[in-house]
Amino acid sequence: MTTDLTVSTADGVALLTLNRPQARNAYTGQMGQLLSQAYLDCDQDDAVRAIVLTGAGDAFCAGADLAAPTSPFDAPGAADEFTASPIAPAAFELSTPVIAAVNGHAIGIGLTIALQADIRIMAADAKYAVPQVRRGVVPDCMSHWTLPRLAGTAVAADVLLTGRTFDGHEAAQMGIATRCLPAAEVLDHALSIARDIAVNVAPTSAALTKRLLWDTVINGYTPRQVADLETQLHHRVMGSPDAREGVEAFLQRRAPRWSS
């Protein structure tokens, strides 16, 4: 028995691996269901301080499985509950930081899933594209929302309207990749970021900061609204055990021992 997604947890980091290496991790409905559930489970587990999403083998996700018996682009039947955003919750809707270790090719839904992560470490020489317009359909996974907010409307128009292919170097230049590295270094680097968060970042602070960051983008808060919300969150955490521990650990030059 194999599963389209594997989950392992160690040292506060959950590693989620898209697991169809024989098909370059081509996306399936089961994969989407498993990833959605894994996101929920990890976000509800206090022991998980950061999530890393990667692909098995030498690809991240080659897009929808076009070799499946039923084409993903067929018209849905009357009983089908089709959605163009099958990953629910999306990575940006969680409270736990999510790092996409894009270790190889990410095409179509493979890339649009990665766009939902907080941080993207992308392989330099891999191929990336959102080619749905070249297949007679349209981009998915909220990419019309995530991409312009990550990289701007001009970049989003270029990527989504042309469906063209680009590499990791250009992804970094456009602002899609947080960092661009040789493929062999991508997962280790992503895990190192996740472990650093797990050890050195207060869990409550990470959750509050992530939610305010994305809620500001989603709700379009004004600067003064953000200032008010930051003040409210400061009142929530100032004087807390973690606030005291963060200062003491820094002054004593040791790893913090968070209470939450």
Nearest Cα to Cα of residue 255 among 9, 46, 11? 11
Nearest Cα to Cα of residue 171 among 160, 182, 183, 159? 159
pLDDT value for 50: 98
pLDDT value for 195: 98
DSSP 8-state symbol, 210? H
Domain count, the chain: 2
Q: What is the residue range of 123's domain?
A: 5-197
pLDDT higher than 80, residue 72 = no
In a domain, 259, yes or no: no
Task: Please indicate, yes or no, whether residues 222 and 184 belong to a single structural domain of this protein.
Answer: no
Question: What would the pLDDT profile of 77-115 be if each residue is shown by its tens digit?
Answer: 655 678 999 999 999 999 999 999 999 999 999 999 999
- Going by their DSSP bridges, the two strands 98-102 and 119-123 should be labelled as parallel
pLDDT value for 75: 61
Task: Please indicate, yes or no, whether residues 121 and 239 belong to a single structural domain of this protein.
Answer: no
Task: Please indicate, yes or no, whether residues 168 and 212 belong to a single structural domain of this protein.
Answer: no
Task: Please indicate, yes or no, whether residues 174 and 244 belong to a single structural domain of this protein.
Answer: no
Task: Please indicate, yes or no, whether residues 168 and 237 belong to a single structural domain of this protein.
Answer: no
pLDDT value for 58: 97
As a whole number, mean pLDDT of residues 198-206 equals 97
Distances from the Cα of 188 to the Cαs of 103, 106, 179, 185, in angstroms?
10, 18, 13, 6
Q: For residue 233, what is the domain's CATH number?
A: 1.10.12.10
Identify whether the C-beta of residue 96 lies closer than 8 Å to the C-beta of residue 207.
yes
Task: Please indicate, yes or no, whether residues 10 and 113 belong to a single structural domain of this protein.
Answer: yes
Task: Please indicate, yes or no, whether residues 209 and 176 belong to a single structural domain of this protein.
Answer: no
In a domain, 260, yes or no: no
Question: What would the pLDDT profile of 26-35 be if each residue is shown by its tens digit?
Answer: 999 999 999 9
How far is it, in rounded angstroms, from Cα 36 to Cα 17? 13
Query: Any residues with CB less than 8 A from the CB of 137 and at least 6 apart, and which?
Result: 73
Question: What would the pLDDT profile of 108-151 be if each residue is shown by its tens digit?
Answer: 999 999 999 999 999 999 999 999 999 999 999 999 999 999 99
Task: Please indicate, yes or no, whether residues 126 and 220 belong to a single structural domain of this protein.
Answer: no
pLDDT value for 82: 86
pLDDT value for 260: 74
Task: Please indicate, yes or no, whether residues 243 and 228 belong to a single structural domain of this protein.
Answer: yes
Task: State both tokens at 247.
Answer: 């200062």
In a domain, 111, yes or no: yes
Query: Any residues with CB less than 8 A from the CB of 149 and at least 6 apart, and which?
Result: 217
Q: For residue 156, what is the domain's CATH number?
A: 3.90.226.10
In a domain, 258, yes or no: no
